[in-house]
Structure 1
Amino acid sequence: MSKAAEIDIVSVSKVYGTTTAVHAISLKIPAGSYCCFLGPSGCGKTSTLRMLAGHEGISSGDIRLGNTVVTDFPPARRGTAMMFQSYALFPHLDLVDNVAFSLKMKGIAREERRAKALEMLKLMQMEAYATRRPAQLSGGQQQRVALARALITDPEALLLDEPLSALDPFLKIRMRAELKKLQKTLGITFVHVTHSQEEAMALADIMVIMNDGRIEQAASPREVFERPATAFVARFMGDHNVLSGRVTSNGDGVITMTAPEGQVFFVRGTGRQAGEAVDIAIRTDRVRLAQSDDKGFGFNGVVSNIEYRGATLKITVVGAGSDDFTVIASNDDEAVKSMAVGDAVSLSWAREDAILLGRMSA
């Protein structure tokens, strides 16, 4: 296999007519890492992947693979390979010829390319199916063939466009583990686009969360989970509550925020002016169903929904300007067992669990 290459995206934009799909993003993806691009539909993640592959032109900026600027290179000269969401296998060819197709296009002799294709099918544990056609395979098997076909060119980086989206939930989890293992075995850079927060958390060394053509945060899954950078990241990842308000004072490393309904909250932080809009986040599993002993770290609300989740309950509360403040509580909690929709409830959290969120500059 080729050695892995660092990918450097430098102020890259993509404009379609009057619409800017990607706004001057910059990002370094370390060599040999597993990078997941994540975000809602239309956020620019697939456009970015296609620009990396050379399947979309870049409106401005540059892409560097290793020491080479590949901005104007065609896909075949970039040192990348792309695995498409649809797998795009040729129905009339057997698996060996499917996997060997790119080598055929390069003029490599039949015996040599078929031997290499069989080697790749063996890596994917698919050599027993070598003479079959794609229609005779399951979704997971087709995915392995598509991976073998992408990897046969010895790419420095493999680009994957929602590779698990067509699989059933159980197979998704299994294939997720296999993708991670494959990336570690090959040691090449993987760049993977997904809608799934869980998938990105399980796979990525670096998660890149996009919104409206911009990067909101690029960090390890642990950092994204524990320290979301913006209100969008906190809400999109689904494990934090966000409370919004205005700064009323700022001193000694503590910001005082007043919510629209008048509740006052404290959060550690600096650099915010009085009157400025501000967001804070509190993890859903760190909220206690109890009156706060510490003023500024809790509020009273009304229960609007309760969902049973086996070992836990998801309780949704309306209050402090939020319609969906969420508490993940243990089913063994006595306070939870008698709770009903419409009940008044007191919530609180520890000082260290309030996180000051940043804001994206337009």
Structure 2
Amino acid sequence: MQAAEIDIVSVTKKYGSATAVDGISLKIPAGAYCCLLGPSGCGKSSTLRMIAGHETISDGDIRLGGKVVTDFPPARRSTAMMFQSYALFPHMDLIDNVAFSLKMKGVEKGERRARALEMLKLMQMEAYATRRPAQLSGGQQQRVALARALITDPEALLLDEPLSALDPFLKIRMRAELKRLQKSLGITFVHVTHSQDEAMALADLIVVMNDGRIEQAAAPREVFERPATAFVARFMGDHNVVSGRVTGHGDGLVTFEVPGGQTLVASGRAMEAGRAVDVGIRTDRVRIGAAESQGFGFTAIVSNIEYQGASVKLSVTGAGIEDFTVITDDAAFFASPVIVGEAIPLSWAAGDASILGALDS
């Protein structure tokens, strides 16, 4: 199987007066595992369906392997799509389910059944070849759906929420299976999900979408450590977002004031005074204890405590700061525990607070 580069060029999708996808451009390298990530209604599934050819494009172009396929039907795109429901035929055994697309292309029965059995072997499902879908577990049905999608030798496999119907333990197992399969086949995978953990575990390229636009497209580590916008920081859940207005700058640091009146400091380029900013502060880098330098911490009131095994999550509030989260090591927490309602000092290092982007004044 060959892999195709996917190039989305200024693509818009409108449904009547509603814009589902708003002029996005994205290049997915050949052989990459790309996850389109975002909340419901952000445009990720519409984008996937436009790549597949199941949705028309209102404006812009899509290129697969350097070829403009904007007006091509799905069958001419060298892609295969695996739907969320799996859409297996209940009256057919697994071989006939997997071989169905070859049957539609007129491939001789013996050849298509032989190729279907090869695909079932790839999915470690050959022992179930004569069973029907109702006799399989959810994970087994997913493997059959994957085999059916891959039998056409696509250059790109498109997956629409493929793990959403599975229980939590099976999801983790199937994540590993998908990653193994993608690496062994070497083709481009484009996977729609609303799960941050799923995208982080699978993707070479995470594309975070919101309101029909791309907020950030980068490797998982960059999205996690350097979110481009306040939306990405909040959606990924690993940063606190504090909003304020610039009061000064110097030595690569920006001083800003939050609505409650206190002054904090973050890493960032020089900005004019009075400009509105969003600042991201890593939840796992916040310490319980007084700040060593002024502006890198505040006094907070503990509003909730959640024990999560290896870590403890504290929800706190401060003057002009709400919905602030601290993730601390469980051993450190229980060595010096705090309680709900207690006032505690919080602090962080200079490198763990950075400007995410300016808001309109």
Sort the TM-score into its range (normalised by shorter chain): over 0.9
Matched, 1:216 2:222: no
Match of 1:94 in 2: 93
Match of 1:197 in 2: 196
- Match runs of 1:1-362 below 5 Å: 1=1, 3-333=2-332, 337-358=336-357
Q: Deviations over 1:87-107 (max 9, x none)?
A: 000111111111011111111
The answer to which of 336-345 and 159-168 deviates more is 336-345
Aligned-residue CA RMSD in angstroms? 1.3
The answer to which of 269-278 and 352-361 deviates more is 352-361
Count of aligned pairs: 360
Paired amino acid for 2:148:
R
Q: Deviations over 1:328-351 (max 9, x none)?
A: 112222676441111111100001
Paired amino acid for 2:16:
G
C-alpha distance in structure 1 between counterparts of 2:92 and 2:155, whole Å: 27
Paired amino acid for 1:134:
P
Contact 2:120 2:129 in 1 (8 A): yes
Paired amino acid for 2:138:
G
Q: Deviations over 1:47-71 (max 9, x none)?
A: 0000000000000000000110000
Q: Deviations over 1:220-245 (max 9, x none)?
A: 11001111111111111111111100
Offset of 1:122 from its aligned partner?
A: 0.6
Secondary structure of 2:331 counterpart: coil
Query: Residues 197 and 334 of structure 1: is their aligned pair in 2 closer, same or farther, counting only changes over 3 Å?
Result: closer
Contact 1:231 1:359 in 2 (8 A): no
Query: Residues 185 and 227 of structure 1: is their aligned pair in 2 closer, same or farther, counting only changes over 3 Å?
Result: same
C-alpha distance in structure 2 between counterparts of 1:342 and 1:199, whole Å: 35
C-alpha distance in structure 1 between counterparts of 2:174 and 2:103, whole Å: 28
Secondary structure of 1:357 counterpart: strand
Contact 2:99 2:148 in 1 (8 A): yes
C-alpha distance in structure 2 between counterparts of 1:136 and 1:322, whole Å: 54
Offset of 1:161 from its aligned partner?
A: 0.3
Query: Residues 359 and 55 of structure 1: is their aligned pair in 2 closer, same or farther, counting only changes over 3 Å?
Result: farther
Contact 1:289 1:335 in 2 (8 A): no
When normalised by structure 2's length, the TM-score is: 0.97
The answer to which of 264-273 and 342-351 deviates more is 264-273
C-alpha distance in structure 2 between counterparts of 1:335 and 1:243, whole Å: 28
Contact 1:216 1:360 in 2 (8 A): no
Paired amino acid for 1:13:
T
C-alpha distance in structure 2 between counterparts of 1:20 and 1:208, whole Å: 19
Offset of 1:272 from its aligned partner?
A: 2.7
The answer to which of 121-130 and 247-256 deviates more is 247-256
C-alpha distance in structure 2 between counterparts of 1:198 and 1:321, whole Å: 30
Q: Deviations over 1:180-228 (max 9, x none)?
A: 0000000000000001100000000000000111100100110011111
C-alpha distance in structure 2 between counterparts of 1:191 and 1:359, whole Å: 31
Secondary structure of 1:333 counterpart: helix
C-alpha distance in structure 2 between counterparts of 1:156 and 1:287, whole Å: 45
C-alpha distance in structure 2 between counterparts of 1:254 and 1:338, whole Å: 33
Offset of 1:313 from its aligned partner?
A: 1.1
Structure 1 segments unaligned to the other structure (5+ residues) = none
Query: Residues 18 and 346 of structure 1: is their aligned pair in 2 closer, same or farther, counting only changes over 3 Å?
Result: same
Structure 2 segments unaligned to the other structure (5+ residues) = none
Contact 2:4 2:29 in 1 (8 A): yes
Offset of 1:356 from its aligned partner?
A: 1.3
Paired amino acid for 2:19:
T
Contact 2:275 2:358 in 1 (8 A): no
Contact 1:121 1:148 in 2 (8 A): yes
Offset of 1:253 from its aligned partner?
A: 2.6
Secondary structure of 2:357 counterpart: coil
C-alpha distance in structure 1 between counterparts of 2:61 and 2:139, whole Å: 35
C-alpha distance in structure 2 between counterparts of 1:117 and 1:268, whole Å: 56
Q: Deviations over 1:306-355 (max 9, x none)?
A: 01112321111101423211111122226764411111111000011112
